[in-house]
């Protein structure tokens, strides 16, 4: 998954106005206690980050 696809999915799940804020503020245990933005900046693959976001938000399986 590319970063552009990751961010498109984030915007679809949370809305364009909220996706970036949520990514900057929400700490996810599955990402080592980092925010989405911190994990991506640290080089964690977007696919791995998306899996953690998907679980955190409880999104339907079709959105994996």
| Torsion sign, CA atoms 56, 60, 63, 64 | positive
- Segments of the chain scoring below 50 in pLDDT: none
CA distance 60 to 19: 18
pLDDT for 61 equals 81
pLDDT for residue 26: 96
């Amino acid at each position: 998954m590319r970063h552009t696809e990751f961010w498109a999915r984030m915007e679809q799940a949370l809305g364009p106005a909220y996706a970036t804020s949520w990514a900057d503020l929400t700490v996810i245990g599955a990402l080592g206690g980092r925010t989405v933005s911190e994990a991506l900046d640290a080089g964690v693959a977007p696919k791995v980050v998306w899996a953690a976001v998907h679980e955190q938000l409880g999104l339907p399986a079709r959105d994996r």
